[in-house]
Amino acid sequence: MYRTGIGYDSHRFAAGRPLVLGGVTIADGGGLDGHSDADAVLHAITDAVLGAIAAGDIGEHFPPTDNKWRDAPSSLFLQHAVKLAKEKGYAIGNCDVTVLAEAPSLGPHKQAMRESIAKLLAVDLGAVSVKAKTNEKMGFVGRREGIAAIAAVTVMPA
């Protein structure tokens, strides 16, 4: 049977860090604060995979209090979630992500993010969608305080 999970994450901007979204380093944007590399996109997808298999959330698997994960690439988190899904007998069906950022403009980076995410999920490019939106200058995203991401992932019996 098919199962679906959703994930959400947000991080505030921080000086002196690279901006990493969907596993892609984006040179024209300020970085995000966080214990790991603060990749809000991969964190949302990781939670969506964990949600689909009812395996808790990213904070349970990778506590921010654990120094082991300081500046860790978030690809590790996502790959772990995919492995857990596999162990439970599931393969990833598809992944759909919306990234909310007032700046930088993420349109030019959507394709690179899709390719990176498809690789991490071990699925075809056609199974991964990345959409970028501003928040129409409203709220914390609109004030350029941070970036948020929402993801949905479907899994199916392997």
Structure tokens at 129: 């969608």
The distance of closest approach from Cβ of residue 101 to Mg ion in the complex, given in angstroms and rounded to an integer, is 14
Q: What is the contact mask toward Mg ion in residues 33 to 72, using x (rule: CB under 5 A)?
A: ----------x-----------------------------
The distance of closest approach from Cβ of residue 157 to Mg ion in the complex, given in angstroms and rounded to an integer, is 29
Question: Is 9 or 102 the residue whose CB approaches Mg ion more closely?
Answer: 9
Question: Is 40 or 53 the residue whose CB approaches Mg ion more closely?
Answer: 40
Q: Considering only 7-15, 21-29, 116-124, 141-149, which stretch makes contact with Mg ion by CB under 5 A? A: 7-15
Answer for the pair 149, 41: CB distance below 8 angstroms, yes or no.
yes
List C-alpha distances in Å: 65 to 2, 10, 41, 52, 58.
Answer: 34, 18, 21, 25, 13
Please tell me the count of residues contacting Mg ion according to CB under 5 A: 2
Which positions ≥6 away from 124 have C-beta within 8 Å? 118
Sign of CA dihedral 42, 151, 106, 114: positive
9 contributes a contact to Mg ion by CB under 5 A = yes
The distance of closest approach from Cβ of residue 82 to Mg ion in the complex, given in angstroms and rounded to an integer, is 17
Question: Is 59 or 89 the residue whose CB approaches Mg ion more closely?
Answer: 59
- Shortest-Cβ-distance residue relative to Mg ion: 43
State the CB neighbour count (10 A cutoff) for residue 49: 29
Read off φ and ψ for residue 86, nearest 5 degrees: -60, -45
Footprint of Mg ion (CB under 5 A) = 9, 43
